[in-house]
Structure 1
Amino acid sequence: MTAQAESLFNSLGAHYEAAFGMDRELQSFIRLVAKTIPPRSRTLDVGCGTGKPVSEILASAGHEVHGIDISEEMVKITKSQVPGEFQVGDMKTYQPSTLFDAVFAIRSLFQMSACDMCSMVMRFSQWIKVGGYVVLGVTPSTSLAPKNTTYDPTWDCTWMLDKLWMGNHVDDLFLSEERWCQLLRESGFIVEIEPVSYLFSPASQEHAPEAHYIVLAKKVEPEPLLGPYPLPRCLKPLEFQDREDFFADRLVSKDLEKLVEDIGDSPDILCIGKDLLNGHFQRRKSRFVDHPIEDLPFAPRTFQTVLALWQMDYVLNMERTIQEITRVVGGPSPKIVIVQGGPYNEVVKLLTSVARSLPVGHQGHILHSTRRYLTKYGFGNITVHRIDASYEFQEASLPERCAAAADFLTGIWHRQHPQREKIKEALVERLKLLFRADAHSVSHGMVAIVARPSLDQGN
């Protein structure tokens, strides 16, 4: 979808500003936000377009304005008429050098997958200081004519496929007002003021009036990667299930490759669990142990690094587990790396929606507990990292891709499920929507906690 969006907005250029630049309700809302945030705030306009009205209003109010847009033509226009720093960039891969006081995403969250859209709000939270703000301007799904839409039950969202917009055919994704507010809460925000909802008529004869919805939210949770929020108070113990092909050759992840490369490959490294790093993640020298984590059969300080990949889901006593892991780590640079699922993991979302049973517990709860006990047992120097990953299905035809993906995904946690064939059938129907337009990836995002001894104590 990125290439399509880039081509689309390069072709529109100034025509987009002519159609959408005179949105009085939006201008009033941005002026209100410009007065709400601290003076000379560092702000980011995501999908800045031609810079009007958002970046222009913020710059006029004395704020430090940065902007990104997928369209080189749009960025060129913005630079010519708004003071600030603007660059060509894809919001899904953008990495800011420092945190912002406020992030604005106005009419820029349409042409992406449901998983990417949900993850995008969480990324915004990562880019914002605690106490900072996000402003979203969207068209809610509740305003759409039912006959023109396709509902996606996995993500509770609505598609308009092959929609004619400004002379182009696009696939646009929409959430309801309630779902947008829920998504903000899940990503660590609270809605600050009553959202604004109104009809806007673009200055173009071929454009019908649109429903616009603008919401201002404040960041209150310091680590969005450990969501979605609010966390459950406790987790129901899960019965252990063997996992097959979890890190098979279909998995593609530069982030995971980098993590494994940084850890290295030596007898001083303990990998807990079966050799899940098979294929192109295979290790030869590191020690693998498939043994209850609560009682590791090693002397204290035997290993310099311990790696646990998706091993914390079935732990019955988290404190005892972390105590054991910290006990066997030592040496000059001890390190513990624990990898679990991230918020809005598409694999988990798909399987949960059709199997109706959780294959894993709430990953944020697991990681919060892990971090708390790591700190208690002397490993409080902790960093949290996003691990982008996906399973790739390159089969030529759509039916082949859907069948291969359904078989593979159900094999991760549901291979022994008595209704596996029915689960596969239901999964195929959802994959047809996901894999349309030659798509072939299922996102499998993860989170890595990297823990070292607390700075005020040795190990």
Structure 2
Amino acid sequence: MSEGFLETGFDDDGTGTEGARPDREGQAEAFDAIGDRYDEAFPAKEGQLAAGAWLIGALPGGSRVLDLGCGTGLPSARQLVDAGCEVVGVDLSRGMIDLARKYVPDATFHRRDIAGLTPGGPDGLGRFDAVAAFFSLLMLPRAEIPVVLHEVHDLLVPGGLFALSMVEADVDYFTIPFLGHTIRVTGYLREDLRKVIEEAEFEVVEESSYTYAPAISDVPPEEQLFLHCRRRD
């Protein structure tokens, strides 16, 4: 897989446009093949549901929320829609987007790279009261994560909320086997993650962690970090 990164765009009907990142496409193809097995391998998502509940409790009814790297739409897009939020989800995996549209028909889903999103312009998504990024930034190399965090900052309204989760690990785009496929992942130690978030002009208002054991044997237990953040203006 190439490690060169180019600008990526996708039409709303899910067709790719010129300039897709080949490395990211390889990641997406793995998740296309994994499909529903992802939710089977990670059936209980206590920390993710708690983070969604924090957003719901802090937001007024009808708030606009971006699910960044939405996967199948379960549980977060559905949780937010059920609470009355207007949810927009983005994911690079065509298979995941198809499942999300099936499972959460009241949300809007786009096949897009999670990097390079903007509020304005012809491909802009507008602004959001909150952004959720549950285990999606770990699919990026470290060099890109601060850039994407600043993009998230720009997508939020002043004082907007940001719920983020990562796996605690000191790795940068490290190749691992995952559900019968190969993907690359990035992690931070918790103090390093907090520093990266704060440098992107977010206030960390709450932090928690969970030791999570997936339901299948070929994915080892992991320490999951959850940060509840607010945009600093």
**Structure 2 residue matching 1:27: 3-state secondary structure:** helix
Match of 1:33 in 2: 55
Report if the CA contact (8 A) 2:140-2:173 is conserved: no
* CA deviation string 1:87-113 (max 9, x = no partner): 110011223332100001101112322
The amino acid that maps onto 1:188 is E
5 Å-filtered alignment, 1:10-49, equals: 10-49=32-71
The amino acid that maps onto 2:223 is A
Query: Aligned partners of 1:21, 1:41: CA distance in 2, in Å?
Result: 27
| Structure 1 residue 140 displacement after superposition | 1.4
Pick from 103, 112, 127 the counterpart of residue 81 of structure 1: 103
Query: Aligned partners of 1:21, 1:64: CA distance in 2, in Å?
Result: 25
Query: Aligned partners of 2:93, 2:229: CA distance in 1, in Å?
Result: 27
Q: Does 1:102 align with 2:95?
A: no
The amino acid that maps onto 1:93 is G
Q: Does 1:128 align with 2:156?
A: yes
5 Å-filtered alignment, 1:56-71, equals: 56-71=78-93
Q: Does 1:185 align with 2:201?
A: no
Q: Does 1:220 align with 2:220?
A: no
* CA deviation string 1:194-219 (max 9, x = no partner): x1101112222322211100101101
Pick from 127, 138, 142 the counterpart of residue 114 of structure 1: 142
Query: Aligned partners of 1:111, 1:28: CA distance in 2, in Å?
Result: 22
5 Å-filtered alignment, 1:385-404, equals: none
The amino acid that maps onto 1:79 is R
| Structure 1 residue 11 displacement after superposition | 0.6
Match of 1:54 in 2: 76
Greater CA radius of gyration, 1 or 2?
1
Match of 1:203 in 2: 215
* CA deviation string 1:135-183 (max 9, x = no partner): 1110012xxxxxxxxxxxxxxx523633112112222111121122112
Query: Aligned partners of 2:38, 2:160: CA distance in 1, in Å?
Result: 29
Q: Does 1:173 align with 2:186?
A: yes
Unaligned runs of 5+ in 1: 142-156, 222-459
The amino acid that maps onto 2:60 is P
Structure 1 residues 219 and 13, CA, compared in 2 at 3 Å: closer, same or farther? same
Considering Cα pairs closer than 8 Å and 6+ residues apart, tell me whether 1 or 2 has the greater RCO: 2
Query: Aligned partners of 1:99, 1:160: CA distance in 2, in Å?
Result: 29
* CA deviation string 1:330-385 (max 9, x = no partner): xxxxxxxxxxxxxxxxxxxxxxxxxxxxxxxxxxxxxxxxxxxxxxxxxxxxxxxx
Match of 1:72 in 2: 94
Query: Aligned partners of 2:142, 2:148: CA distance in 1, in Å?
Result: 10
* CA deviation string 1:243-287 (max 9, x = no partner): xxxxxxxxxxxxxxxxxxxxxxxxxxxxxxxxxxxxxxxxxxxxx
Structure holding more strand per residue = 2
Query: Aligned partners of 1:209, 1:158: CA distance in 2, in Å?
Result: 16
Query: Aligned partners of 1:111, 1:30: CA distance in 2, in Å?
Result: 21
TM norm structure 1: 0.43
Query: What is the identity percentage for the equivalent residue pairs of Structure 1 and Structure 2?
Result: 24
Structure holding more helix per residue = 1
Q: Does 1:140 align with 2:162?
A: no
Query: Aligned partners of 1:184, 1:208: CA distance in 2, in Å?
Result: 26
Query: Aligned partners of 2:164, 2:173: CA distance in 1, in Å?
Result: 20
| Structure 1 residue 28 displacement after superposition | 2.4
Report if the CA contact (8 A) 1:21-1:53 is conserved: no
The amino acid that maps onto 1:50 is T
Report if the CA contact (8 A) 1:189-1:220 is conserved: yes
Structure 1 moving runs of 4+ over 6 Å: none
The amino acid that maps onto 2:155 is W
Query: Aligned partners of 1:204, 1:113: CA distance in 2, in Å?
Result: 26
Match of 1:92 in 2: 115
